Structure 1
Amino acid sequence: MRKVFFNKAFIISSMASLLLLVTGCHPSPDSNAVQSATEKTTLKIGFVKLTDMAPLAVAVEKGFFKDEGLLVQLEVQPNWKLLYTRVQKGELDGAQMLAAMPLASMTAKPSGTEIITPFTMSYNGAGITVSNAIWSEMKNNIPLEDGKPQHPISASALKPIVDQYKQQHKPFNLGMTFPTGTHNYMLRYWLAAGGINPGMYDPNKNDLSGNIGADVTLSVVPPPEMMAKMVTGTTLGYSVGEPWNQKAVKKGFGVPVITSDVLWDNGADKVFGVTTSFAEQNPNTTVKVVKALIRASSWLDENDYAHRKEAAKLIAQSNYVGVDEDIILNSMTGVFEYEKGDVRPLKSFNTFFTGQYGIPYYSDAIWWLTQMRRWGQIAETKPNNWYLETAQKAYRPDIYTKAANSLIAEGKMKKEQFPNLATATFIKPPQTSRLDGVVFDANKPTAFLAAFKIGNK
C-alpha cells in the first residue's frame, strides 16, 4: 500500500485553507457578527384575547419579526394562569403578560422560576364595567353634567348598593382576571377609593383568597368569559382590558364606569415576559424580539393613529382576538363609549408607544409592587430601597436600550423617536391620581402606601 506523508507546514496550510472556506474567506471570525448571532430563531409566544396583544400580531403580520430573522408562532392561551405556568415551564418562549406577573415571580414564596420584562406592550387599556341593573342604581348617586353622568365616577356611588347587599346577606361578586394581575389591582384601587373594602390576602396564614374583611367578593374570570358571567348573574361587574368593556356596551349588557388612566395615567398594563434563564441563554434573540415589538408599537401609534383601523381589522381575526372590528375600534381611535351613545374623547386610552415608548420603567414596577403590599400579597412591610431593587430585577430597560440603539444604528428608526436613553433614570416624575388625588412618587413608595385608609402600609 502506498504511504502518504504530510509535513507540518502542509497540515497547517491545509487547516488554514479549510478555516477560510468555512468562515467565508475571513481568517478570524468577526466579533460583531458573533455578538449579533441569533441563538434561537423559531419561537412560540403566548397571548390572551385582548386588544393590547396587537403589537405581537403587528410584528408578525408586518414582517417585523421576520426582519430580525425570527420565525414566530403566536399561540392563544385560554387564561392568564395557564399562560404564566407555560412560560415558567418553558413551553412558551415568551408571552404577553399582565404587568405585575414578572414582579410576582420575583416575590413568590417559595421562590420559583423568575420572569423579567424587557418591553412594555401597552398603557391605559383597562376598564371597570357593571351590569345594567347595578348601573341603573348607581346613576341615582352620580351628579350630572350637561345631562350626562359626571366623570370620573367614584365607587362611592356603588357603596350604598354594596351595603344593601350586605344587609340582605347577598353576595356582591365582581370579576377580575388574575390575583397578581393589573385588573385585580385596578378594581381594588377603585373600590377602596370609594370606601369599599375589597379584602386582603394573608400568605402567612395560607389565606390566598383575597377576601379577608371584604365588603365584596372578587373572583378570577378569563377575559373572554367576562361578559357571559355577568349576563348569567355570576358576577355583577368586572375589571378587564379591551375589547371586553366595549363589547358589553355594544351588546347592551353593561356600562363601563371608569378607565384605568383615571386611576393611574400611562402606567404599564401589559408587558412582554420571558424567564430570566431564557434571556440569559438567548440574549441576542431577546434583543431582536424587543426590536420587532418596538417597531410594531411605533407603527400602531404613528401619524396620529393612522394605522388603527387596519390594526383593528387585523386583530379582529379569529386567530387573534376574534371580536367584531367595530367593537375593537370603539376604544382604538381616541374615543371611548360608556353608556350606549355616550362617546367621549379618550386619546390616551389604548396607547402602545407614544410618550412611554414601550420602556419598562422601574417606577411602573414600583406602583404594582405597592399594590401587592397594600393587599397583603407581600406579607411584610418593606423599606423604600426594596421596591427599587425588586423593580430592577424584573424590569429590564438595559435590554430595551440595546434594542433601541440597534434600530437606530440600522436606520430602522430615528434617534428622535426615543428619549435620551443614555441619561434616563427610568423613574417617571411624581403623579397625582385624578380619582382620589393621592400622589405617587416612585422614590417614596412607603409614603404612597401610608396615604391610603384601606390596606397595608
Structure 2
Amino acid sequence: MKHDLRIGFLPLTDCAVLVAAQERGFFEKYDLNVTLQREVSWANIRDRVAFGELDAAHMLAPMPLAATLGIDGLGIPIQTAISIGLNGSAITLATGLMQGIRTHFPEYLHSSPLRATGLKALLEREPGRKLVLGCVYPFSQHYYLLRAWLQDGGLDLEQGVEIRVIPPPQMVNALANGEIDGYCAGEPWNLAAVQRGIGCVAASSYGLWHNGPEKVVGVTQAWADMNPETHLALISALLEAAHWADDRHNRIQLAELLSRPQYLDTPLDLIRAPLLGRYRYAADEPERFLPDFNVFARYAANFPWHSHGRYFLHQMQAAGQLAHAPENPERLLASVYRTATYRQAAAALKLPYPTGDEIPLLGCTTPWVLHEASQPIAMGSNHIALHQLRAI
C-alpha cells in the first residue's frame, strides 16, 4: 500500500538527500508516494509542518528543538530521527569590505579561516557605521556560527551590528542592492555572489567547525506517533539516499538533479563545484580543495546526536533566545532526537550505527574511529576554530 507524503524543502544544495530519494527511487522502494514542495523560507516550512500542510520537511538542525521548547513562535513539538547533512554553508562579505581589509589591514588576512578581526579594524575607520548581516533564521547553525565569528573578532553584537533574517534565495539580491554587508547561508548562494563579483567568502562552516551539524528532516511528534511505520519507511529511504549522495561517483549526477527547475533552478556549475570539493572564495582566487564541504552520510552524519541538541541549548541561552536551561534536558533531548528510530532503520539496512547518544564535540582534531557502535565507524575531525564555541 502506497503512503502519500508531502515533504517541504528550501532550494539549497543540502536538500540533496531528499532529491536523491525522489529521483533515484528510494521513496518508491519503501512504498512512499512523495511530493517534494519547494518553499520560500524556513518560517514558512515551520508553519506548514506545524499545521499539517506538510508531513515532513528539510529543516535547520536547531528547528525541532526550538519548536519543542516553545520558543519559535508556535510551540508545536517537532522531532527528528535523521540528520541529512554536515557543513555546507559559509559567511560571505561584500566585495568592497574584503577589498578594504586587503588594502588597509592585510596583516589580518593570514588566518585560516579568516577571523573577523580585520572587519572590526575596518569598521573602526568609519565611526558610527552599522554593520548589517543577513542570516537565514534565528534558530540555525548559521546564526550561532555568525555570532561566534563576529565575537571572536572582537565585535560587540550589541553595538553597531544588526543581524537580519533573510530567506537564503534572497541573500544575493539583498547584497547586490546594498541592503546588507554580508550574510551566512548555505550553497549555492555564497558561490552565486562570488560568481557575480559582489561577494567574497570569508569562512566556510567547515573551516569554523569541522563537520558541524547543519540540516535534519523533521516531523511533528503528533504525526510520528500516528504514523510510526510510515516514519520508519521515510527514515530508511533517506538513509539509503544519503549513502548514494555521499558516494563521490554519484556527485556529478546529483548536481544535475539538483539544478533542475523544480529543485534549485540554478546553474549547474554553482552546485557541482562544492559537491566535488572545489570551492572558490573570491572571483579572482583559484579554487580550493575542500572534500568535506558537503557531507551527507560519512562520519555517522545521519545520526541524531543528543550532543548536538545540548550544543544548541547552550547557544540558545548564549543568544538570549532561552531564558534558562530546561529542567530535564535528558527527557527533552530524547523526545526531539529519536535515536531508536534511526537505529531500527539502520539495523534493517545492515548499516553501522552508534550505540550511544552522545559524541565528543571537542578534542577530535584528526580522523578517528567510533567504537561505541554496532560496527566501528570512521569519523572525521570535529575541530572548532572559534573560541566562543569552545565552552560547549
Once the two structures are superposed, residues 119-178 of structure 1 have per-residue CA deviations (whole angstroms, 9 ceiling, x without a partner) of 00110111000011011012243448xxx854210011111233344x2x3332110011
Q: Which residue of 1 aligns with 2:131?
A: 172
Q: Which has the larger radius of gyration?
A: 1
Residues 1:329 and 2:279 are matched in the alignment: no
1:97 CA drift (Å):
0.2
Maintained 8 Å contact 1:397/1:426? no
Q: Which residue of 2 aligns with 1:297?
A: 242
Q: Which of 98, 115, 119 is the equivalent residue of 1:154?
A: 115
Relative to structure 1, the CA distance from residue 127 to residue 281 in structure 2 (aligned partners, 3 Å threshold; closer, same or farther) is same
Alpha-carbon distance in structure 1 between the residues aligned to 2:294 and 2:119: 26
Maintained 8 Å contact 1:124/1:351? yes
Q: Which residue of 2 aligns with 1:64?
A: 26
Q: Which of 251, 264, 272 is the equivalent residue of 1:308?
A: 251
Residues 1:108 and 2:70 are matched in the alignment: yes
Q: Which residue of 1 aligns with 2:281?
A: 338
1:392 CA drift (Å):
2.3
Residues 1:215 and 2:163 are matched in the alignment: no
Alpha-carbon distance in structure 2 between the residues aligned to 1:134 and 1:388: 44
Alpha-carbon distance in structure 2 between the residues aligned to 1:317 and 1:78: 17
Alpha-carbon distance in structure 1 between the residues aligned to 2:214 and 2:308: 9
Maintained 8 Å contact 2:79/2:335? yes
1:434 CA drift (Å):
4.2
The letter of the residue matching 1:133 is: G
Aligned residues: 371
Alpha-carbon distance in structure 2 between the residues aligned to 1:439 and 1:173: 22
Alpha-carbon distance in structure 1 between the residues aligned to 2:292 and 2:328: 31
The letter of the residue matching 2:105 is: N
Partner SS for 1:307: helix
Q: Name stretches of at least 5 consecutive residues in structure 1 with no aligned partner.
A: 1-37, 199-212, 409-414, 441-447, 450-457
Maintained 8 Å contact 2:64/2:77? yes
Q: Which residue of 1 aligns with 2:152?
A: 193
Relative to structure 1, the CA distance from residue 188 to residue 386 in structure 2 (aligned partners, 3 Å threshold; closer, same or farther) is farther
Equivalent positions of 1:25-424 (< 5 A) are 41-109=3-71, 112-139=75-102, 140-143=104-107, 150-165=111-126, 167=127, 169-198=128-157, 213-302=158-247, 305-340=248-283, 341-380=285-324, 382=325, 386-408=328-350, 415=351, 418-419=352-353, 421=354, 423-424=355-356
1:103 CA drift (Å):
0.9
- Cα RMSD for the two superposed structures: 2.0
Query: Which TM-score applies when normalising by structure 2?
Result: 0.89
Query: Which TM-score applies when normalising by structure 1?
Result: 0.77
Alpha-carbon distance in structure 1 between the residues aligned to 2:389 and 2:111: 23
1:195 CA drift (Å):
1.0
Structure 1 segments of 4+ aligned residues over 6 angstroms from their partners = none
Relative to structure 1, the CA distance from residue 175 to residue 65 in structure 2 (aligned partners, 3 Å threshold; closer, same or farther) is same
The letter of the residue matching 1:428 is: P
